[in-house]
Structure 1
Amino acid sequence: MLTTLLVVSMLLAVGGAGAAAWVLRDGGDTPIASTWVDVRPEVGGKAIDDVLTRHAAAVRSKSLDAWMADVDQSDPGFAQRQRQEFENLTKLPLAEFSFERTVQPARKMAAYLPSQLFDRYHAAARVIAVTVRHRIDGVDSVPVATPWLAVFGYADGRWVIAGDGVGKAMPTGAEGQPWDAGEPISVVRNDRVVAVLSAGAADNGKALLQLAETGLRQVAQVRPSGWDGKVLLTAVSNKQIFDTYFAESQDRVARVAAIAVPYYSSVTEWSARPTYATTRVVFNPAELTAPKAELQHDLTHEFTHAAMGPVTGPHTPRWVVEGFAEYVAYKDGKYNAAGIRAVIGDLSIDKFPADKQFYEEPRNYVGGWLACRMIAETFGEAKLIAFYEGFMRMSEIDSVSREVLGVGRDQLEQQWRDYVAKQRK
């Protein structure tokens, strides 16, 4: 083993073609090993595209040998993770599945290269932005795009899949898909829900499906159309799947029971104009043992987000998004005045909470719920839904409120304050 290696990378123009060479030296002037990697887009890119095409075909044909043929076998741990990923993929009811290389700046992608893979491959390693395009049979009406940062290494004259990118700034959903569980999964389903659980949890899955059906019925009473009405639910024991969605706010993980994640026809971080496709629901595994009533509420809340996903945009206030989900979840009337007073406590009810501060105070969920309930009781439930949808066309609360409810923001906030004051008595 050499203790000191100097890697020299350079680009050479040979007859108009591009090539990259890296040379290992032992600290002296004499090179001890070298290799050439053709980086011309029409060569290197095509070779990687071919690997991705074969890799996706292996899933569709359920051929483990074909899947592993393009995987670096020198790292036993990574090879085993790849086998598990393949097994998980083939358990899912995939109606469509493909990998698509998505061109991104090399410098940006290089930031996701794990150090151990650089040490192994040096200049012959690339992080490739890959769009995983898939459709769950019976759930998705259109293909859904999720991101994969694949590390390719050049060895023995060919490109192989050598690992996965790392970093807190990875695109939404990277390493957070059901097949990324890192453990065997089981899949249970009915006509409207596909639930992915840890292997051996099928009995729990049946109970979860029953709760899910109740939740979907509750949502349909308020929002009967405008969405597919079907959901992919992930509830595996590996907490990393859930934590992935909180890379920038790990302090919130313990306070969140589940999350509804909107997905699009292309990866949002890699696309200028993504089109909404669906919403996935991912459970915090720590909450799966919660009381039945609590799980029921959480499912209904998240399914409401899924139902409103097509009409939720960057201008929809957080208090409207979360408040409406609570409004639907509590539509069965299972709450009492004393409980509301206890939860509200000394929460300041003055101005509608700003998005940036909304999640800093958990009781803002209650404030948002009461605001939405007040709008429904004062103006009618149809107006509440129209108010929610109005933010797809307008960005200001005042504008939406005047057009839909006939009152300005100031008057709406006063009605909210008066309504909350009554709940506190």
Structure 2
Amino acid sequence: MLTALLAVSMLLAVGAVGAAAWVLRGRDGAPTASTWVDVRPEVGGKAIDDVLARHAAAVRSKSLDAWLADVDHSDPAFVKRQRQEFENLTKLPFAELSFERTVQSAPKMAAYLPSQLFDRYHAAVRVIAVTVRHRIEGVDSVPVATPWLAVFGYAGGRWVIAGDGAGKAMPTGAEGQPWDAGGPISVVRDDRVVAVLSADAADDGKALLKLAETGLRQVAEVRPSGWDGKVLLTAVTDKQIFDTYFAESQDRVAQVAAIAVPYYGSVAEWSARPAYATTRVVFNPAELTAPKAELQHDLTHELTHAAMGPVTGPYTPRWVVEGFAEYVAYKDGKYDAGGIRAVLGDLSIDTFPADKQFYEEPRNYIGGWLACRMIAEKYGQAKLIAFYEGFMRMSEIESVSREVLGVGRDQLEQQWRDYVAKQRA
């Protein structure tokens, strides 16, 4: 390799022909090599579409050779990861699976290009936005879209998969899917739950399914309709899978036992009006050894988020979302009044916490739970659910509270303060 290479990209058009020429130069400015790549959308795009189609077909036919045929073999570590990803994909019960190129602006995608891949391909490389459209058999009623930032390099006269995009601003779910686990996975299932675990933890699968079924029963007691009651649960020991969802707030990872991730029929960040499809539940691997009661509470909480996913929108306050999930998780009555007082401590109960500050104070979960419990006890559980659903039509607490409960925000907050004061007495 020369110590200094200048990659110059230029687009030539001769009649109906379009090509890009990458000219490599040494220190003295003399050209050392050049690569010509046809970049017309109908040519380059079609070639990449064909690679993606073959990739999906390889999973369906469980052909590792077909999968690796379109992978760059110059990086042994990447090839090893690709082998593992293929093995993981083939263990999942897909009813549908496709990899679809999704048109995005080149500058936007270039921000995700790892520098070492640019250096390796001397600019004959691009990041492609790929929608992984899939449906898990027995769980998903509609196809679910998850993002993949695939790096394609031009080598040997063709486009090959050379790596994955990187960066903190990647779309939700990129590198956070069960098949992205760095080690082998195992899959256990029953009629309503598909659980993905690390292969060396497969023996824990039955216990996890039992907890999930208990949680689903608790959720169904409060929310008997409006959700199909089925879920994909990821509980692998690969910490990176969970951490992906906290790329911009790593300080929160240790505070979160699990996360419910909404997914849509198209990747939300790449679509103007994505339609809700389902919610996946992902466990923090650090919490998988927690006591059974804690795991049960956490799982029921997240399953509640999944159940309310279809009626959770951008205007639903965080204290309602999290408070309602705690309301369902504590519905069995297994909590200690003295423990509530201790946890509340000196938490200020004045106005409902704003969304931006909600997660800065973990005790807001308790405050939100008590607010939801108060509404259920005073107005009835059906009114609590209607209150939650009201934010799909209205954006202000004042409007929703007046329509559903017959009181304004100020009065509702006063009722909440009085209720919390009784819990502290």
TM-score, with structure 1 as normaliser: 0.99
CA deviation profile, 1:260-279 (whole Å, cap 9, x unmatched): 00000000000001000000
Segment of structure 1 superposing worse, 205-214 or 7-16: 7-16
Q: Distance in 2 between matches of 1:248 and 1:265?
A: 25
Partner of 1:332: 332
Counterpart of 2:277 in 1: which secondary structure?
Answer: strand
Match of 1:369 in 2: 369
- The residue that corresponds to 1:249 in the other structure is 249
Counterpart code for 2:14? V
Q: Which residue identity does 2:252 align to in structure 1? A: R
Paired residue type of 2:319: W
Q: 2:188 matched to 1:188?
A: yes
Within 2, Cα distance between the matches of 1:304 and 1:321? 9
2:41 aligned partner, one-letter code: P
1:18 shift after superposition: 1.9
Q: Secondary structure at the match of 1:200?
A: helix
Alpha-carbon distance in 2 for matches of 1:337, 1:233: 32
State the match for 1:46 in structure 2: 46
Q: After TM superposition, give the deviation of residue 23 of structure 1 in Å.
A: 1.0
Judge which range, 40-49 or 13-22, deviates more: 13-22
Counterpart in 2 of 1:71?
71
Q: Distance in 1 between matches of 2:200 and 2:337?
A: 41
Match of 1:30?
Answer: 30
Cα-to-partner distance string for 1:355-382 (whole Å, 9 max, x where unaligned) = 0000000000000000000000000000
Code of the residue aligned with 1:306 in structure 2: it is: A
Task: Show the counterpart of 2:226.
Answer: 226
Alignment of 1:159 with 2:192, yes or no, is no
Question: Aligned-pair distance for 1:16?
Answer: 3.3
- After superposition, give the CA deviation of every residue in 1:266-324 in whole Å (9 maximum; x if it has no partner): 00000001000000000000000000000000000000000000000000000000000
Find the aligned partners of 1:18 and 1:354 in 2 and give their Cα distance.
Answer: 54
2:391 maps to a residue whose letter is: F
- Residues 10-66 of structure 1: per-residue CA shift (max 9 Å, x gap): 111122322110011122243111110110001000100000011111111111111
The farther-off stretch of 314-323 and 14-23 is: 14-23
Shift of 1:416: 0.2
Partner AA of 1:68 in structure 2:
L
Q: Secondary structure at the match of 1:123?
A: coil
SS of the equivalent of 1:129 reads: strand
What letter is aligned with 2:328?
A: V
Q: How does 1:192-207 map to 2 (within 5 A)?
A: 192-207=192-207
Question: CA separation in 1, counterparts of 2:212 and 2:412?
Answer: 34
Tell me how far apart the structure 1 counterparts of residues 388 and 288 of structure 2 sit (CA, whole Å): 30
Q: Aligned-pair distance for 1:5?
A: 1.3
Written as runs of structure 1 = structure 2, the 5 A alignment for 1:58-97 is: 58-97=58-97
Q: CA deviation at 1:69?
A: 0.4
Instruction: Quote the offset at 1:200 in angstroms.
Output: 2.3
1:142 corresponding residue in structure 2? 142
Q: Which runs of 4+ in 1 moved over 2 A?
A: none
Match of 1:277 in 2: 277
**How far apart, in 1, do the equivalents of 2:35 and 2:400 lie?**
63
Which residue identity does 1:168 align to in structure 2? Answer: K
Between the aligned partners of 2:207 and 2:29, the Cα distance in structure 1 is 69
1:358 maps to which residue?
A: 358
Match of residue 393 from structure 2: 393
Q: 2:4: which partner in 1? A: 4
| Distance in 2 of aligned mates of 1:291 and 1:254 | 17
The one-letter code of the counterpart of 2:63 is: S
Q: What is the match of residue 132 of structure 1?
A: 132
Count of matched residue positions in the alignment of Structure 1 and Structure 2: 425
How far apart are the structure 2 equivalents of 1:141 and 1:77? 37
Give the whole-Å Cα distance in 2 for the aligned partners of 1:348 and 1:366.
12
Q: Match for residue 259 of structure 2? A: 259
Letter of the structure 1 residue corresponding to residue 374 of structure 2 = M
What SS is found at the alignment partner of 1:99? strand
Supply the distance in 2 between the matched residues of 1:379 and 1:316 (Cα, whole angstroms). Answer: 19
Unmatched tracts of structure 2, length 5 or more: none
SS of residue in 1 equivalent to 2:123: helix
Q: Distance in 1 between matches of 2:140 and 2:360?
A: 34
Structure 1 residue 253, shift from structure 2 partner: 0.3
Counterpart AA for 1:211: L
| Mapped partners of 2:339, 2:396: distance in 1 | 33
Q: Secondary structure at the match of 1:8?
A: strand
**Cα deviation digits, residues 164-217 of structure 1 (max 9, x gap):** 000000000000000000110000111111110000212111111111110000
Which amino acid is the alignment partner of residue 234 of structure 2? Answer: T
1:294 aligns with 2:294: yes
Q: CA deviation at 1:392?
A: 0.1
- Residue identity in the other structure for 1:53: A
Q: Supply the distance in 2 between the matched residues of 1:214 and 1:101 (Cα, whole angstroms).
A: 40
Structure-1 separation of matches of 2:229 and 2:121: 47
Q: What RMSD in Å do the two structures reach over aligned CA positions?
A: 0.6
Aligned equivalent of 1:21: 21
CA distance in 1, matches of 2:17, 2:360: 55
Moved more, 362-371 or 188-197: 188-197
Task: Determine helix, strand or coil for the equivalent of 1:161.
Answer: strand
**Given residue 97 of structure 1, which amino acid in structure 2 is its aligned partner?**
L
Structure 2 CA distance for aligned equivalents of residues 176 and 200 of structure 1: 19
Rounded Cα–Cα distance in structure 1 between residues aligned with 2:16 and 2:213: 63
Aligned counterparts of 1:271 and 1:29: Cα–Cα separation in 2: 45
SS in 1 for 2:4: coil
> What SS is found at the alignment partner of 1:346?
coil
